[in-house]
Structure 1
Amino acid sequence: MSEQSRLMLVVSPLMENSPAFDRAAALAKASGAALHIVAFDYLEGLATASMVNEQALEQMRLGYVERHRQWLEEQARPLRKIGVQVTTEVVWVERPLQEILIHLKEQPMAALIKALEYESPLSRLMFTPLDIHLLRECPVPLHFVSHVQHALPRKIVAAVDPFHCAGQYKSFNDRILHEAAKLASTCNATLDVIYAHDLSSISADEFGFDNASAFFSSGTAKTLFDAQGDAFRELAERNGIPPERQHMIMGNPTKVLSSYADAYDIDVIVMGRVGHRDIGRLIGSTVEHLLYKMPCSVWVVSPEELAE
């Protein structure tokens, strides 16, 4: 992050603090970036209050927005005292996604930071939460903060997948490692790299086999595993990752990454994502599945060629 970069922290409309405040402040301080804190307010009860006097209702809305603005300024004051350049903003809007995307287009940010809002599986089936929308559409690195042990991360893991049939994402692994290394350098944190190798996700017909049993009994599976091990080591070495920081683990990526993060007290896992049409197959496809299961915060990177 450059000294001129800016971080955007999206906060709750309920005037409540969260670990995301501490994480955003720590990252801004460590990187020398400015911090823009914005709240997209909309309270259903207040917005639809059954009052005859529309002018009085509007005054209530304006009053709430002003109180929230003052509250944000109170949170910003101690950050300014430690040298962080902070600006605050409150916007009354029912659907914040488009406003967030407009903000990011009009005010380029180095990253968007937000507390992860837990949603039950049933709720996610009924409607798509804001966090998932952001995961799919945010054009800048997106940091979902949860389970914070340290305001400034100490242990960071980058999740990569050197196996791609589409050349469109050939350099994406390097981009993920570049972003992870930059974050680790900013935080003076350790950086490990994991490749969760899951043969069960590979389609047999991609390699000219009529069925999966022929694929696995042919010895192609072992050959592929060895080849991907070589590709993973070459990728890691190309990006300056020492052998002791490289981990290739067989298994379902969701289980491998969550178990590793829990076992080694990881603060942040850096992952890639692609267009959600390819969910379940390409690099970063496990992000949506992992988001609510990880025992640490998640830093999501999108390919430059897919970002608008």
Structure 2
Amino acid sequence: MNRYTNLLVAIDPDHEEQPALSRAMDIARKSSAPVKITLFLAIYDFSYEMTSMLSAEERQAMRAGVLKQREEWIDSVVEQNASEGLDIVKHVVWHNRPYESMIAKVFDGDHDLLIKATHQHDKLGSLIFTPTDWHLLRKCPCPVLLVKEHSWPENGKILTAVNVSSENETHEPLNDKLIDEAKAMSKLLTAEVNLVNAYPATPVNVTIELPEFDPASYTDAVRGHHLLQMKALRQKHSIDEEQTFCMEGLPEDVIPAVAKELDAELVILGTTGRVGLSAIFIGNTAEHTIDQLNCDVLAIKPDGYVSPLAPNVGLG
């Protein structure tokens, strides 16, 4: 059964095509359970707040007029897809921070998946973040699906990025969660699940500072450790060896390379939801990776994650 049945879909009024809605409809069509789709639009025009010649009531009336226009536009989008009998509703708000209003709606509507189209670089074909994308990846409590304009063909391939390093105890349950998500999506899409893990290269400074250091032996040991851990993980989840990739390099290089080699239609990865200064100075592997991908991305938070925008947490 599809675990995603209450979808929040970010609509882009600046584009005629709505790939996020198309992806939501793909999920609804393929699902064995009823799926509700909520089309979401946050709009804001600073000029309405700065017009000193208008009273507060007049500014409110102008905002209401803009909201009504957008609602009518969304109604036309819904009508275009009404013939399929899908359960589609709309929610339009006036808010100067789209990501905050989206996350608030996720909490309010108990949505289990947020779908949003993201920019695609014309030359490289990779996904390019907007500031809203970054905030959603870090702070949205439910999975976030970033989509581009292409179809989901049957018998495609899903690539799941796992971390089999034993340094962090949170990796194991997150790996299991990511693979479970991949299997659920594979049933929905009739797709093959693949796993990828990146392990670090030998530090150059160690080789220079320690003449007796044997980089070849070190590399073999690291690779051997990761291969054993990957074997245990794939056997635990009954995944064939041919569908696992364990490669040296940075995750932001290895994952896109394997995704391209497989021509994957979907990459699933975990995101820690790091916020604040640590996010600025350290960054998230998921975010660096997505910039290099040319396919859809499903970002999953670890169990126990609490959004800084949760109603009982505040903005922090």
- TM-score normalised to structure 2 length: 0.81
Indicate if the aligned counterparts of 2:202 and 2:218 stay in contact, CA closer than 8 A: no
**What's the C-alpha RMSD, in Å, of the aligned pairs?**
3.3
Aligned to 1:253: 251
Aligned to 2:132: 130
Instruction: Compute the displacement of 1:45 (Å).
Output: 4.0
Aligned to 2:295: 296
Tell me the distance in 1 between the aligned counterparts of 2:48 and 2:291.
30
Q: 1:172 to 1:89 in 2, by over 3 A?
A: same
1:198 matched to 2:197: no
* 1:197-253 per-position Cα deviation (integer Å, ceiling 9, x unaligned): 22358998xxxx9x7877654834322211210110211121121122112222222
Aligned to 2:235: 237
Tell me the distance in 2 between the aligned counterparts of 1:51 and 1:16.
35
Where in structure 1 do 4 or more consecutive aligned residues deviate above 6 Å? Answer: 201-204, 211-215, 277-280
Indicate if the aligned counterparts of 1:117 and 1:131 stay in contact, CA closer than 8 A: no
Indicate if the aligned counterparts of 2:42 and 2:94 stay in contact, CA closer than 8 A: yes
- Counterparts of residues 82-121 of structure 1 (less than 5 Å): 82-117=84-119
Gaps of 5+ in 1: 120-127
- Given residue 195 of structure 1, which amino acid in structure 2 is its aligned partner? N
Aligned to 2:314: none
- Counterparts of residues 1-308 of structure 1 (less than 5 Å): 2=2, 5-14=5-14, 16-31=16-31, 32=33, 33-49=35-51, 51-52=53-54, 54-117=56-119, 129-150=131-152, 154-200=156-202, 217=215, 219-276=217-274, 285-307=284-306
Secondary structure of the 2:298 match is strand
- Tell me the number of residue pairs that the alignment of Structure 1 and Structure 2 aligns: 295
Farther-moved stretch of structure 1 (164-173 vs 152-161) = 152-161
Instruction: Compute the displacement of 1:83 (Å).
Output: 3.1
Indicate if the aligned counterparts of 1:279 and 1:286 stay in contact, CA closer than 8 A: no
Tell me the distance in 1 between the aligned counterparts of 2:203 and 2:140.
26
Indicate if the aligned counterparts of 2:145 and 2:296 stay in contact, CA closer than 8 A: yes
Tell me the distance in 2 between the aligned counterparts of 1:4 and 1:275.
21
Secondary structure of the 2:81 match is helix
Indicate if the aligned counterparts of 2:2 and 2:184 stay in contact, CA closer than 8 A: no
Q: 1:91 to 1:293 in 2, by over 3 A?
A: same
Instruction: Compute the displacement of 1:154 (Å).
Output: 3.2
Instruction: Compute the displacement of 1:265 (Å).
Output: 2.3
Instruction: Compute the displacement of 1:19 (Å).
Output: 1.4
Q: 1:233 to 1:255 in 2, by over 3 A?
A: same
- Given residue 42 of structure 2, which amino acid in structure 1 is its aligned partner? F
- Given residue 266 of structure 2, which amino acid in structure 1 is its aligned partner? V
Q: 1:262 to 1:245 in 2, by over 3 A?
A: same
* 1:40-80 per-position Cα deviation (integer Å, ceiling 9, x unaligned): 11133455456435544433321221121122122223434
Identity within the alignment, %: 23
Secondary structure of the 1:266 match is coil
Gaps of 5+ in 2: 122-129, 308-316
- TM-score normalised to structure 1 length: 0.83
Q: 1:225 to 1:157 in 2, by over 3 A?
A: same
Q: 1:212 to 1:173 in 2, by over 3 A?
A: farther
Tell me the distance in 1 between the aligned counterparts of 2:49 and 2:204.
50
- Given residue 39 of structure 1, which amino acid in structure 2 is its aligned partner? L
Farther-moved stretch of structure 1 (295-304 vs 235-244) = 235-244
- Given residue 65 of structure 1, which amino acid in structure 2 is its aligned partner? L
Secondary structure of the 1:167 match is coil
- Given residue 298 of structure 2, which amino acid in structure 1 is its aligned partner? W
Farther-moved stretch of structure 1 (225-234 vs 43-52) = 43-52
Secondary structure of the 1:269 match is strand
Q: 1:249 to 1:274 in 2, by over 3 A?
A: same
- Given residue 253 of structure 1, which amino acid in structure 2 is its aligned partner? P
Secondary structure of the 1:195 match is strand
Tell me the distance in 2 between the aligned counterparts of 1:214 and 1:171.
38
Indicate if the aligned counterparts of 2:164 and 2:171 stay in contact, CA closer than 8 A: no
Instruction: Compute the displacement of 1:156 (Å).
Output: 1.5
